Amino acid sequence: MTQFRWLAALGLVAGCGFGDNNATRGTRPDAGSPAHDACSNCATHDAPVPHDAQTVAACTLLPQAGCGSGDACDLTAADDGTVGCRGVTSQGTANNHCAVDTACRAGYTCMHDGANSPWCSRFCDADAQCDGTGSRCVDQLVDANNQPLDVFTCSNACDPYGQSGCPTGMGCLGFDDGNDDFSDCEYMTNKPDGAACTSSEECTPGAMCVTSNNVKTCMPTCIAGNDNTCADLNTVCDSFTSPLIIGGVEYGACE
């Protein structure tokens, strides 16, 4: 499963420059199915969508090379996959927002979802280049026309239950990808638990959009096998038919 995102491109996000990128999730050749699952006695939880970016010339994104000391190689404002050197004014990483592209350290790019405050994301070619539990090389950058640029960044290593590891204002979600489930951060629209939904981004951080009896509703995320992780004592933590396991922890939904 690959996710597509944009470089925070000039004009798309106020205050961003150089190669601010868009993101979305799509399909990487070495990734699994984009499907999100179902509870053992209910149904499925939906996954968010993808990221953008990369390619050739003057300098290289991976490994970082071709720029002066203290500078970084990044995608340019042309938003077409071309690369160039930019300054580095702050050492922003995956937990940091970036009002300007120079706020991300070398090896990271300023990325956004088209509507919210952008954040720094790490370039990668393989999962091994991503740090932290749940982080995988699955976010593919796209251009202004939503066309893949064959440039990838790492998803965020975050905790879908504890809601840690994301930039301010974003929620952590788990994604079912066969034997390689992963986590990532998304802006969520805060529908309350029990509300109808079509995707997990519509729910509150700490909840997922789950299908039960053919009806999709926002349900709290919990740790499978531990009903105490459900705040409502009248509910139990159901696992999914395709288990969602990240870093050895199996997540479910409170029903």
Q: Which residues contact 63 (CB under 8 A, 6 or more apart)?
A: none
Residues 94, 69: Cα–Cα separation, whole Å: 22
Task: Identify whether the C-beta of residue 209 lies closer than 8 Å to the C-beta of residue 203.
Answer: yes
CA atoms of 146 and 3, how far apart (whole Å): 12
C-beta of residue 4 within 8 angstroms of C-beta of residue 148: yes
Q: What is the DSSP letter of 156?
A: P
Question: Residue 3's pLDDT is what?
Answer: 59
Q: What is the pLDDT of residue 145?
A: 83
* Count of all residues that appear for the chain in the document: 255
CA distances from 210 to 15, 116, 123 (A): 37, 25, 31
SS3 content of the chain, % helix, strand, coil (to 5): 5, 35, 60
Burial of residue 68, with CB atoms counted within 10 A of its CB: 0-12 exposed, 13-18 middle, 19 or more buried: exposed
- What token pair was written down for 183? 């986590």
For 229, the 3-state DSSP assignment is: helix
Q: What is the CA radius of gyration of the chain?
A: 18
CA gap 211, 208 in Å, rounded = 10
What is the pLDDT at residue 181?
97
Can you give the pLDDT of all 255 residues of the chain as single tens digits? 555 454 433 222 223 344 445 544 433 323 332 223 233 333 233 333 333 333 334 799 999 999 999 999 999 988 888 999 999 999 999 999 999 999 999 999 999 887 899 999 999 999 999 999 999 999 999 987 888 999 999 999 999 999 999 999 999 999 999 999 999 999 999 999 999 999 999 999 999 999 988 899 999 999 999 999 999 989 999 999 899 999 999 999 999
**DSSP H or E segment with residue 209:** strand 207-212
For residue 5, give the amino acid letter. R
* pLDDT, position 2: 55
DSSP states of 114-140 as a string? Answer: SSS--EEEEEESSGGGS-STT--EEEE
Residues 6+ apart with CB under 8 A from 128: none
Could you give the number of structural domains in the chain?
A: 1
Range of the domain at 108: 3-254
Cα–Cα distance between 131 and 211 in angstroms, integer? 32
